[in-house]
Amino acid sequence: MLFKRKILVVEDNEINRATLCVILSSQYTVLEAENGEQALSLLEKYREGISLILLDIVMPVMDGYTFLKHLKADNRLNSIPVIVTTSNNSEADEVTALSNGATDFITKPYRAQVILHRAAGIIRLRETSTLIHQIQYDRVTGVYSKEYFCQQVREILFRNPDVKYDVLCSDIEDFKLINDTFGMAAGDRLLRQVAALCTQRLGDRGICGRLNADQFACLLEHREDYADEMFTQYDSKINSGFGDLNVIMKYGIYTVEDREVSVEQMCDRALLAAHSIKGKYGKHFALYDDKLRGTLLRRQAITDGMETALAKGQFEVYLQPKYQIRDGRLAGAEALVRWNHPEWGLQPPGEFIPLFERNGFITKLDQYVWERVCALLQEWDRKGYPSINISVNVSRLDIYNTDLADVLTSLVRRYGLSPDRLHLEITESAYTDTSRQLIETLGTLRRLGFVIEMDDFGSGYSSLNMLAEMPIDVLKLDMKFIQTEITRPTGQGILRFIVDLARWMKLRVVAEGVETREQLERLQNDGCDYAQGYYFAKPMPVESFVSVLTVQDPPADMENSRSDDSADRIDRALLVVDEDEEYRAQVHRSFSDCFKVLEAASYEEAVKILGSHPYQMSAVILSLTLQGGADILTAIQKERGAWVTPCVATGPLDMELERSAMELGADDYAAKPHSQESLRRRVLRVMSFHTLQERIRSQQDEACRDSMTGLLNRQGLYTIAESLRHASFSAVYLFELDDLKKFNEKYGYVEGDHLIFHFASLLRAHTRMDDVLVRLGGDEFLVVMCHMSSMEDVNKKKTAILRAYHESRYAEPDLVACFAGTAFWNAEEPLDEIIRRAREVMYAAKAGGKDECLIRKG
């Protein structure tokens, strides 16, 4: 343990105080106070260095309630959590303590494991709030982070529909030159000054966030009187703190007219306005207008023509075959859509689907595709073709159509089809909204016989958390996920884990985007069921697919089987394992309002239930006097694997039995006899603590990772830096995407994000599982590779990555360069020094035009 957190024990009884010190001292540094006055003195000394206070109520000099009033009135100290300890177990005392600001309430005599568990949970809760602050606010400037700024703007626009707003974005000309010339510290100081002036200018009339590097965005109420003089005043204040350095700021303003436009696009438009005046002396701001629309004109043309296109049948269904991996037989297809425009020609879905999803037309197009697919299946059945299923896309907007189930049921009935012939693909992003309507709608469709597929699984970060609750039958692995995983040695990626998990949950797995024989063999070795991609066939017109279909033997049933109890899936279940039938009945009555209560009277019954409901168990109440009760605790962990089930153990008032239960993994111990109300509070408490722990892990990981790419960020790098020092023969690679800023100016901020994500994916594909990948800043990436035996090997790897970048298919920019620098790292040198050396090598490469990689359009 690198350091121990401090806990302050405020207790006038010396024996009680000593008891708490003994319990806590193994894991914490314990400070002692005999009364509230002494406690305030210690708090003045340590302040927020104290993680938790355990407070007695009845004390001389200053009692607990008076102490709480002083604590909560001090803004420096009021975030420190307090657990009240008392010998009085009345509900009135508990309510009084909580109403005075206490976080929790425990009664004497003290039970060691309970105190330690509660202390750990509450301390983590407080630390989570600190982590959330770090995620919401930019580390350098203190203004909102990009993600939180966009979230806040969305909420403000939603809450104030009648108020007109402007998005104002600023950009510092040649900021990279400032960093290179004067150093990162000077650059950070400049950014803080810009942020401070933005915040001061807005006051309480708007909000400010840092988008990236030197770009800031503000939301403020609309005004008509923008003038250059307004901005030159702020530029003068910025320059006043930097001597001879002449900082030039450019500002772009986008007036929010269409609130359906994403906040990111609003910022893009404001930045486009700012970029339009770069290099123009005396011009400090620009308004976004029609002259800057560019590609938006095409989007408007698409919108204008979509209804006519649907009426005239310009949208064509294309089908991409799907094959069984084990024998290569055709097993189905995915329905895609192309727009055969009379002037533009055949348009891929990327040209129009995102726009249709935003404007709502996607619901009409989806229903058109569904009907066309059903008509095809009916026609093929009539002609005696092999019977297959076809997957169709269901958008998030479709899900919120209250008539969706009726529409689909009526459709398959009209064409004489079984519902399981129509597979409904829901993209993973739609599952991030875990509303009750989403769950109920999909559950209804499954019960009606439709097969539900989660499309693009692996493209987001919350997929595993969603699997337990969402009603699905099939996982479709995202193409980028497949391409990344396939580069890792067998057994080192998570593909096998996901396939095994799917098997356990009785789900089938489809891999899309398969392009090579190597990828197919890897999927086969890892147990994947079905595959589609260019290795087999591209999406094709219906006539071409018919030729493929008619040369196939009738395929075996695919993905249509379900477990018998699938329609009975429930949201939350509670298992009570106890030899006393009357006790089980009491628990059943107490919890049946919010859980499906399952009962077991023996070890065998309990293990059987756990095995048959592995992802639906919310909590277990377990009697340790039952024969084999201790073994059930072990079985709970074994059956659940990575998903931990909260468990409240019950038994007689026996300290040794309680200690044993805690060591075996129980979350709490309820001594019999006890009231059902007390048991209910315990169960709900341990469930909330488990939810909290999952959130903490998620927040801790999120705080150390770059939200866009999923790579470690600078904070994450320094968090693990000490462990990297002990690895032998480590090599550090520093990569920079040069002229990224010009690319953003030309193509917009969203496209710049795509390029950054592309490069992060490339690094994943060309590194090992145990290599460390970091996004240091806007255009800088760091890789730490261990066990590199020679500089020759280091340079080979650097060359391979640069060549892969050069040969990649990402071709949006006309010209983007990548430079790299490398350095060896031994255990004695600090990480900052190694990064500095690698950066010097990279700058030398830039100066000489070496080690660069170009992506050219065309």
Catalytic residues: 512
Please tell me the distance from the alpha carbon of residue 217 to that of residue 227, in angstroms, as a whole number: 18
Buried/exposed code over 586-605 (b: 16+ C-beta within 10 A; e: otherwise): bbeebbeeebbbbbbbebee
Q: φ, ψ for residue 618 (rounded to 5)?
A: -85, -30
Helix (H, G, I), strand (E, B) or coil at 850: coil
Helix (H, G, I), strand (E, B) or coil at 788: coil
Upper half-sphere CA count for residue 407 (Cβ side, 13 Å)? 16
Buried/exposed code over 393-414 (b: 16+ C-beta within 10 A; e: otherwise): bbbbbbbebeebbeebbebbee
Q: CA–CA distance from 695 to each of 132, 457, 655, 666 (Å)?
A: 10, 21, 32, 20
> Minimal CA–CA distance to 47: which of 74, 11, 15?
74
Q: Rg of the Cα trace of the chain?
A: 31
- Cα dihedral across residues 694, 695, 698, 699: positive or negative: negative
Specify burial of residue 170 (Cβ count, 10 A radius: 0-12, 13-18, 19+): buried
Cross-sheet strand order for the sheet of 82-86: 29-33, 6-10, 50-56, 82-86, 104-107
Upper half-sphere CA count for residue 814 (Cβ side, 13 Å)? 6
Contacts of 51 (CB under 8 A, 6+ apart): 5, 6, 7, 28, 80, 123, 126
Please tell me the distance from the alpha carbon of residue 542 to that of residue 317, in angstroms, as a whole number: 7
48 DSSP 8-state letter: G
Q: CA–CA distance from 479 to each of 483, 531, 749 (Å)?
A: 6, 11, 24
Report which residue type is found at 39. Answer: A
Please tell me the distance from the alpha carbon of residue 1 to that of residue 497, in angstroms, as a whole number: 31
- Cα dihedral across residues 630, 636, 642, 644: positive or negative: negative
